[in-house]
């Protein structure tokens, strides 16, 4: 499972931070930070989701009010949003 975080879309509401500890707050930027995320294109960060964090990652994606977090299965199929 993979997570993709769109920093440009993020509006810093930080609900994701409460759901999964891979997300932290960058209050000066008003954005979340995806720890361990690799920037695959400008402002778009991706990383693997560990097996034991899949539920947390899904909750983080579902709770984001602007759909800045997307979840993909191992076949590249988008599960959320």
Residue ranges in contact with ligand SF4 by CB under 6 A = 10-16, 23, 32, 64, 66, 68-69
CB of 18 to ligand SF4, least distance (A): 9
DSSP one-letter string for 20-79: -TTEEEETTTTEEEETT-EEEETTEEEEEPPGGGHHHHHHHHHH-TT--EEEE-TTS-EE
| C-beta of 71 vs 75, nearer to ligand SF4 | 71
CB of 66 to ligand SF4, least distance (A): 5
CB of 16 to ligand SF4, least distance (A): 3
């Amino acid at each position: 499972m993979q997570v993709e975080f769109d920093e440009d879309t993020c509006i810093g509401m930080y609900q994701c931070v409460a759901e999964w500890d891979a997300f932290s707050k960058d209050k000066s930027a008003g954005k979340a930070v995806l720890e361990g995320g690799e920037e695959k294109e400008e402002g778009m960060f991706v990383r693997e989701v560990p097996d034991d964090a899949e539920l947390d990652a899904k909750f983080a994606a579902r709770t984001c009010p602007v759909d800045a977090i997307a979840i993909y299965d191992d076949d590249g199929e988008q599960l959320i949003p």
